[in-house]
Chains A and B, each alone.
Chain A
Amino acid sequence: MWKFLGKRLIQMLFTLLLFQAVTYFLIDAQPGDIADLLAHDPSIPPGERDRLRAELGLDRPPVERFVKYIGNFYTGNLGVSFNEYPRQVTDIIKERLPRTLVLFFTASIVSFWAGFMSGKILAWRRGSFVEYASTIVGVTLYTVFTPWFALMMIWLFSVQLGWLPAGKFLSPEVWITAPASANAIFSRLIGTGFVGLTVMLAGFIISNKVTRKIRVPLRVASIIVPLSGALLYWTLNGLGVWGGDMLQHLVLPVLTVTLIAYGGNMLLTRTSMLETLREDYILTARAKGLPDKVVRDRHAARNALLPVWTGLVFSIGRSISGGIITETIFSWPGLGLTLLNASLVADIPVAMGTLTVIAILTLVSHLVADIGYAFLDPRIRY
């Protein structure tokens, strides 16, 4: 296991380096640099332009600059944003990464769980009307033009129903009197969510080990206790108004990304379940007279989970690109929106920095998916 992990980490590092090299040289090969960008300003004399170029190191050969860039990158210096001039890229990323992470993780986990649960039931009821209808919904969600889907969500939930705010991270008019910075409150929200989910998960894992009599009350408790704990915490700490405002803004983007990722997971589970249901051991289980629910959940679904988990590797990519599109439509100031805006104004340091962080996020998620695979399938030993 440790050997595998070490090998994978080295492979990931190598991938990242290759990735950085390719993107760096591709962008570098384009005509024009920051000095040219500033040259549109007629008040800058030509000599000054050359001095600027030398100061920024743009007169050095590309390989030398790349080596220097990589050296700086791995010591935590990602340069300075061109667009928001004196601001460090690291600072920008530090501010926006948590927002993307919340969007990405919530959507990935919820869509995987929901997709798996509904997919297995659909495969079991093959040929019914529900199955056809859900397949259509699944395919639609899988292939829908994401920006349009996000706009339709806005139209439905904030224009027609008026339940949720249409976009942005917070409502400025509420935040004028806020006692703490938005990021501080957002960190607290993440902390609450994390602790609550851990307690909930622990409750459910323990409930699987105990006798049937206490299982149901334990499960109910493991939902109610963290929820009421979180509510109590946010009413007592006096920041409830602002936390609630942020949460309200969070719902619609998360829902959108979740639904987009859900379609693929559901369809994949259905296909995988259909293949598993043809296995001999399912016939055996049925012949033994086991109840349908047991055959479905214990015999078929567990084996059908493996390909779906492999499919998670592809769905990570979908969640990330879906996240970028969603962030753009909802003006959610995460990494995706930062990447797009930086690309549009040719802010190379920020674009490179965000792209690399998104690549790292993808690589780490893939690693987690691979490790999870070893837990799910005892035949796989790393």
Chain B
Amino acid sequence: MTMQTNGITVSTATHAPLWRIRLRLAWRSFKSSWATFAESPVGLIGLGVIIFFGLFALAHPILMHTVWDSATYDPQMGYDMEIAFHPAAPSVRHLLGTDPLGRDVLSQLMYSTRYEFVLGILSAVVTVVIATTIGAVAAYYGGLIDAFLMRLADLVIMVPFLPILIVLSSFTEVGMFELALLIGLLSGFGGNTIVIKSQALSVKVKPFIEAARIAGGSDFHIIFTHLIPNLLPIALLYMMFVVTSAIFSEAVLSYFGLTTIKMSWGIMINTAQTQGYLLRFDTWYLLIPASLAITLLCAAFYLVGRALDEVVNPRLRSR
């Protein structure tokens, strides 16, 4: 093991390089966590659905380049000239039919999937970065900083989430990126911070933090290399729930027609609504595929979150 201190390289007795030991330890803890995770069928179902949607998203560009010609099957600009009346019911040519503007529903559904992932993961990352930093700082320093940050979190929890998004997105131009940032900010400063801070408090009193301080580690060093890595499991857990709420919020806002997003599952339902097909249940293929996709992906992330909860929180396990 080699260690860099004040520019002098100190060699210690072990032969394997440090990264390999770390990797092996990480692999071992991953295997044991996976065993716990795999115990619950719920989590595996969720993971399966997420992988399915991942492949679904990947398949779109491949299909566009091979089987589907872009004039007919383009999710935004496509139009099928060979069908007289749109929306057309599902057929071999269009497995899920076409929308009122003559575009292929399946192609739209697949094309939108990647944006749902980007949006969900981006807002979850923003949330986690904010929530872990604030949680760790608040727990580490305590006192006035803690009081201020926690009151701020209380304020953010108290204000209603969706109404604010409705008003903000109708008076401002909100695209996919801004929306992800907005959702990340709102959920990062709110409830997640409080949960992560309570975890940080229990890590803060562990002996290795004390040891790091005695070894002369700066506050910054201790927070970022000792405290935050121990908060990441619980942060990962809360990421899943943020993804769920981000996908849901985007779908609702797009459905109301408040975003400037070009194509998403919510926009698909919005198109059905603005063209007057929402309450006509015979054109089910305009409504059900997109709604079902939103529900399934939200549920999948939520289920993975619940299964991770059992990994992180031993009190929930069945044995």
Contacts and interface: CB of A to CB of B under 8 A. Distances in A.
A18 interface: yes
Contacts of B63: none
Interface stretch (A63-71, A146-154, A176-184, A191-199): A146-154
Interface in B274-288: 278-279, 281, 287-288
B92 interface: no
Contacts of A257: none
Prevailing SS type, chain B contact patch = helix
A370 to B, nearest CB: 11
B167 A339 contact: yes
Contacts of A266: none
A76 B135 CA distance: 39
B302 interface: yes
Interface in B69-106: none
B41 to A, nearest CB: 8
A145 B315 contact: no
B163 A358 contact: yes
A351 B187 CA distance: 23
B158 A343 contact: no
Interface in A314-363: 314, 317, 320-321, 324-325, 328, 336, 339-340, 343-344, 346, 348, 351-352, 354-355, 358-359, 362-363
A30 B171 contact: yes
B172 A145 contact: no
Contacts of A139: 299, 302-303, 306
Interface in B123-180: 151, 154-155, 157-164, 166-168, 170-172
B244 interface: yes
B160 A145 contact: no
A154 B281 CA distance: 10
B121 interface: no
B170 A343 contact: yes
B163 A355 contact: yes
A278 interface: yes
A27 B162 CA distance: 16
B164 A355 contact: yes
B170 A145 contact: no
Contacts of A346: 170-171
Contacts of B248: 143, 145-146
29 contacts: A11-B151, A15-B159, A23-B167, A26-B171, A139-B302, A143-B244, A145-B248, A145-B251, A145-B294, A147-B252, A148-B269, A148-B292, A151-B278, A151-B287, A154-B279, A271-B316, A313-B157, A314-B191, A320-B163, A343-B167, A343-B170, A344-B256, A348-B171, A351-B170, A355-B167, A358-B163, A362-B158, A362-B160, A366-B158
Interface of B: 42, 151, 154-155, 157-164, 166-168, 170-172, 191, 244, 248, 251-252, 255-258, 269, 278-279, 281, 287-288, 291-292, 294-295, 298-299, 302-303, 306, 309, 315-316, 318
